[in-house]
Amino acid sequence: MSKKELAVRLSKLKTFENPNVMMEQYPTDSEIAAEVLWFAMLKGDIEGKIIADFGAGTGTLGIGSLLLGTKKVFFIEKDEKAVQILQENLDFEEISEEKYVLIKKDLEFFQEKTDVVIQNPPFGTKEKHADSDFLKKAMLTAPVIYTFHKTETEKFIQEKANSNSFICTNKFEFNFPIKKIMEHHKKRIEHIKVTCFRFEKDN
pLDDT at 197 over 60: yes
The three-class DSSP label of residue 22 is: coil
pTM given for the model: 0.90
pLDDT at 8 over 90: yes
At 74 the pLDDT is: 98
pLDDT, tens only, 94-103: 999 999 999 9
At 1 the pLDDT is: 86
Average pLDDT, the chain: 89
**Do 121 and 147 touch, CB atoms closer than 8 A?**
yes
Give me the mean pLDDT over the 31-44 stretch. 97
Secondary structure element (H or E) that encloses residue 194, with its range: strand 189-201
What share of the chain in percent tops pLDDT 90? 72
> Phi and psi at residue 27, in whole multiples of 5°?
-65, 145
Tell whether the torsion through CA atoms of 169, 152, 32 and 107 is positive or negative. positive
Architecture of domain 3-10+29-201: 3-Layer(aba) Sandwich (3.40)
At 192 the pLDDT is: 83
How many whole angstroms separate alpha carbon 63 and alpha carbon 8? 13
Secondary structure element (H or E) that encloses residue 117, with its range: strand 116-119
**Do 141 and 114 touch, CB atoms closer than 8 A?**
yes
Q: Which of 51-60, 121-130, 174-183 has the highest mean pLDDT?
A: 51-60
How many whole angstroms separate alpha carbon 203 and alpha carbon 199? 12
pLDDT, tens only, 151-176: 999 999 999 999 999 999 999 999 88
pLDDT, tens only, 63-104: 999 999 999 999 999 988 889 999 999 999 999 999 999 999
